[in-house]
Structure 1
């Protein structure tokens, strides 16, 4: 199974990028995952949506080719980051590559609530007409105090968090059997 992880942060040392990379590495025997970053996506502009830049064409092609999308989002001002909203705008227009594509969501932050509000907003967005993505519900991953849970190599050091992520990956794989 091919999964793309879309990381909603462009920060070099993003905890969400570390989380996506950890999930990729930790589950390499269960699914093939590519972590996509949003650094090279230009701002969505309806004037060029029918002839987008190559970075957009490549991004959309990778999402289209995937069996599922793992959204890994930080929380900015109680919602998703602008760069993630921009990526979603590109995905929801013209060929609408997300329609019917299964999604699951997780996020990490330094705060105690993880990324609960951002994930709630992201769920609403993924249900919109241009996306219509079925979502793995009831398997929320809100990693709070992320700055205390990763070592310098990007490994999660808290065993309970690793076990929880294993459980969620198992739920995701079971859910995907229906697609």
Structure 2
């Protein structure tokens, strides 16, 4: 039975390259994983005062993560960092104290950008934040990819065999990580 992966995408943009990238990974992982995309578009900034009546987007996030076997964070890189929506998701999911949804979940982090470093710096920062909420983060292999016309079609299809293999190797290692660290 395929593992259920809660997928958090750090870009809310309609034509997000990171959403297309996640969908390309989903196609590669189709026989081993089922991606369940968490809608972060209505997630408010973290606000402790909202716990008296938490927004549906918060409870939905927590429910999807709790029902998953693992978490995949797909992040763009904004000013050498991951976007605030990822931080808000991590904060909301870690609360209330003792009732967080992240603890012990296997996690992988990736992302794409048109820039040459392929979200390497943002992924490093995301990895630290994920560890702080007790996600069990896969450190190797890392998947940094530059989005360009040689590798991807406008629809997000993978055009380059080497890129497809690189992505496939990442998915294979993630599947093994889930098997090793999953509940």
Unaligned runs of 5+ in 2: none
2:114 matched to which residue of 1?
A: 110
Corresponding residue for 2:137?
Answer: 135
TM-score by length of 1: 0.93
Aligned counterpart in structure 2 of residue 47 of structure 1, from 46, 49, 72: 49
Distance 2:67 2:87 in 1: 21
- Give yes or no for the alignment of 1:154 onto 2:156: yes
Q: Of residues 11, 14, 19 in structure 2, which corresponds to 1:17?
A: 19
User: Which of residues 8, 21, 30 in structure 2 aligns to 1:28?
Assistant: 30
Shift of 1:50: 4.2
Deviations 1:74-108 (A, max 9, x none): 01111111111111111111121001111001110
SS of equivalent to 2:36: strand
Question: How far off is 1:53 after superposition?
Answer: 0.7
Structure 1 segments (4+ residues) deviating >2 Å? 147-150
- Give the root-mean-square deviation of aligned CA atoms: 1.2
Counterpart of 2:126 in structure 1 is 122
2:93 to 91, 94, 105: 91
In the other structure, the counterpart of 1:72 is 74
Corresponding pairs, count: 176
The alignment status of 1:60 with 2:62, answered yes or no, reads yes
Q: Do 1:22 and 1:154's aligned partners in 2 also have CA atoms closer than 8 Å?
A: yes
- Distance in 2 (CA, whole Å) between partners of 1:42 and 1:153 is 30
Distance 2:163 2:134 in 1: 30
Structure 1 segments unaligned to the other structure (5+ residues): none
Greater shift, 149-158 or 92-101, is seen at 149-158
1:3 and 2:9 equivalent? no
